[in-house]
Structures are given as structure tokens and as C-alpha cells.
Amino acid sequence: MALSASLNLRQSQSLVMTPQLMQSIQLLQMNHLELTQFIAQEIEKNPLLEVQSPSDEASTAERGDSGPQPEEAGSEIDEGAGEGDVYDSATSRSGERLSDGLDSDFANVFPDDTTPQRADAPELLGQWKSMPGASDGESYDLDDFVASRKTLREALIEQLPFALGSASDRLIAQYLIDQLDDAGYLHADLAETAERLGSASEDVTRVLDVLQQFDPPGVFARTLGECLGLQLRARNRLDPAMEALVGNLDLLARRDFASLKKICGVDEEDLIDMFAEIRKLDPKPGTSFETGSFETIIPDAVVRTAPDGGWLVELNPDALPRVLVNHEYFAEISRSCRKSSGEQIFLNECLQNANWLTRSLDQRARTIMKVASEIVRQQDAFLMHGVDHLRPLNLRTVADAIKMHESTVSRVTSNKYMLTPRGLYELKYFFTVSIGSAENGDAHSAESVRHRIRTMVNQESADAVLSDDDIVDILKKAGVDIARRTVAKYREAMHIPSSVQRRREKRALARVG
């Protein structure tokens, strides 16, 4: 067969992911913080974009309708007097009235402080008027005056000068402080630390022994047992029996009380007292300090009770920044820019990107509203009666109801939150696995079944601890068709120990009580 070149025309259809379409998909799955950062970057690059939140508009309207300013009120007292004169005349008149009534001269009570107060008052008054919130009558934000909390590192650095004298010891101590985690544990190898700092291993061990006496007790421990032992030593409670108990925490976790009594050499009553002492200790002493900034969750949708008894779903305006396109600025710049240069091309691209961003944000808000409204419609019983009435729900059900793809619903529910009368929940919380009914009725949600198991375990007594088989029987009587292995899986996922361990723990707690 001979080879030859030929030219063929073929027509086909294909779905192409444009960069703008990809960014629209990314916008859909962004949370509030990521969306705010993305908009800030776009505003920095695009001169035609502006952002204005509803709170700014409300505050502007309130300032426009505000009453007379402090300067206007002062002018009513004396049109020809300044701020200092108003202060002095008011003070002198009040002093004269008090002097006449009590036959005393209050002007000479503090003669040394009279002149500085009158001289500093106008300056202080001007500073007060220049502060934010003073001119419009708004009160101060008390959070601006709250002292910042100390971090664990700062608290330990303050104790160094009182414990270590030499510069080399302080250098080793500062290195060990930098190796602590947020809980106050030390994970650095002492031999490697000594080699890195060029010091002897004995010096590093000696410095560590000093640091382990710092507040809070238990810091610089390398294991949980050492952390508890340091706290017991600080309380003068680390006797041989307690030291043996701290060295066998694995037996305590398994509730193997018989082995602990033999190892510690105590009877049951003393062992219960030792348990009570252990429960008073802090396994993570460093968590009581400030570890960093925390992000406040802002709900994307808010659910309220409607006047007709239904539910009213609204988008949270604080989670939807209003992005505007400045067309006036575009028209002004277009008249002055040169057509032949790349200025007009750049300006047109900015306008196109700005219009695309506003349309994408509007579409994102509409999609979130649709998904949230359908979730509220599906989970009406949960909003009325609680977790026990949470219905099983999957992405396909919501996607078919709002005529969208499952992937779109999955992106919308990712890192999005809804504020309900029952509390703040992530949208993915309402999507749970279905568990069949034992009476051919409606299926049950896996989350509601886990909630029932947790409630039953919390309500059981030391003499009537429920086994997994007992929980299965109770759930089947309630109409839930569930297997024993599923109950065990849910129990382990909720970190609930077995019935044997729970019985030991509850009996020990009952004796302590």
C-alpha cells in the first residue's frame, strides 16, 4: 500500500475548559476567607474593581443623619469662646456653686494641679475628637484595649534569667524552648542537640532538668508519663506507688485494675485515690497559652423561622462581599488613553475580567442559595425536632431537585456553613448514609443512629452497661435495622470504649464519688 499525503476536513464537538470557567469552578468551592483573599488580589490587579460591604453603606447612612457635632454643641454655650474657655467657664461655675453651698473654696484644694489641667485639657479634647468613633457618638470597641495573652515561649523566656546564669546555658535553654510543640512537649533529641550546639551532653541534660521545673508544671516532658510525673513532683505526690502507676499508663488505658494493684503494691481504695489524683493533672500544659490566631467561622446562609411556620433561608451579607465595576472611571480613562498603544487593550481586558468576576460571584451566590434551600426542605424534621430526626440524604437527591450536577453540589457544600436555630453546621453535615428500617418504614440517617448510640452510652449506669448486642436489640425495637459490626464501628469512631472497659471505669468513678 502506497503512502500519500492528503488534506481532510473533520467537524467535531468537544467540551473545553477555558481559564475563566476553571476560575468559576474554583470560586464555587472557596470558603469565605479564600474568597476574600482572591477578591483582594483581583482588586489589586484590576483598577476598575471596587468592593463595598453592606455594613459600610449602613455606617455611612448613619453618619449622614447624625446629630450636631461636639463643636456645634460647644458653640451654643459661647460663640466667642474656644474649647479651653468652655472647659474653664463650666468648671468655674460648678466650683462657685459648690463653694456657696458648703462655705468652702474648692479652687484652692489642689493648687498645684490647676494650671496643668487647664493647659492640657484642650489638647486632650482634640485628641479625643480625632479618635475613630468619637465624632459620631459611637462607643469604643473594648477589644482594642484588651491586653494580648502571652504565648508559651514568652512565659518561659521570662523565667530564664531567674534560673540560669551563664550565657551558654541560656543559649541551650532558648534552643530547647524553640523545639517545644503547642502542648508543651519536647521532641528534640538531646544528643543531636548537644552536637548541633557544640556543647556537652551533660550540660544539655542539666539545663533540661532546670527547664522541667518551670511553670506551667509538666512542660519540656518527652512522654505523657514524664509530663504527669513532673506535675506530681511539683505537688510532692510522686511516691513509688504513683511513679509505678505513671510508668504503666497503657494498663490504665485498658482499665486493667488488677494488674495495676499488683504493680503499684496498693489495695483497691488506694488505687482509686491515685486515679482521682491523676484526673486532676493536665496532659497538655502548653495549651493554656495563646497558640495563634483563630479564624471565626462566618455562615454562608442563615435559616430563620418564617411567620407562617415554615423556614426562611437567606444569604449572609457578611459572607458576600459586594464587588462593583467602576464604569465612570473606565469611560474617563478611555477618553485619555491612546488607541494605537496597548493601553486600550489593557483597559478592555480589565473591564472584561471585572464583568466576569461580578457575574461569577452572582452565580455563586445563587447556587449556594439553591443548595441551602433544598437542604432545609429535605431536613425540615431535623430543624423542628433535632438530630434524632435527621433524614438520610445524598448529593444526587439535591442535584436532581435543583437541576444541577452532583459535582457542583459537592463543591458548594465544601467548607460552607449554615446557621440554623439548632446551631452552626457545615452543609456536608446534612448528607449522611442511609440505614434501613426494621419495620419497612423510612430509612434512618447514620448520624442520627450514632447520636442514639452516644445517648444510650451516656445514660447507662455502672450496674447496667450495654454491650453491642444490647444496643443492636434496642435499636431494632426502635425500628433501626443495623448489624452488630456496624454498631462496633460507630462506637470505635466515636472513641467509646467497649462494655468491659466502660463497666470498670464507671465502677471506679462510682467508688470515687
**pLDDT(152) > 50:** yes
Neighbours of 227 (CB within 10 A): 26
**pLDDT(102) > 50:** no
Q: Identify the band that residue 454 occupies on the pLDDT scale cut at 50, 70 and 90.
A: confident
Between these two residues, 15 and 417, which has the higher pLDDT value? 417
- Identify the burial level of 5 via C-beta atoms within 10 angstroms of its C-beta, where 0-12 means exposed, 13-18 middle and 19 or more buried: exposed
**pLDDT(74) > 60:** no
Q: Quick: pLDDT tens for 81-98.
A: 443 343 343 334 444 444
Question: d(Cα 327, Cα 367) in Å, to the nearest integer?
Answer: 27
**pLDDT(191) > 80:** yes
**pLDDT(498) > 60:** yes
pLDDT at 251: 82
CB burial readout 155-168, b (16+ within 10 A) else e: bbeeebeeebeeee
Residues in the chain: 513
* Mean pLDDT value of segment 207-216: 89
* Mean pLDDT value of segment 228-254: 86
Q: Identify the band that residue 252 occupies on the pLDDT scale cut at 50, 70 and 90.
A: confident
Question: d(Cα 121, Cα 139) in Å, to the nearest integer?
Answer: 21
The set of cell numbers assigned to 373 is: 434551600
The set of cell numbers assigned to 217 is: 508544671
What is the dihedral sign for C-alpha 163, 167, 168, 172? positive
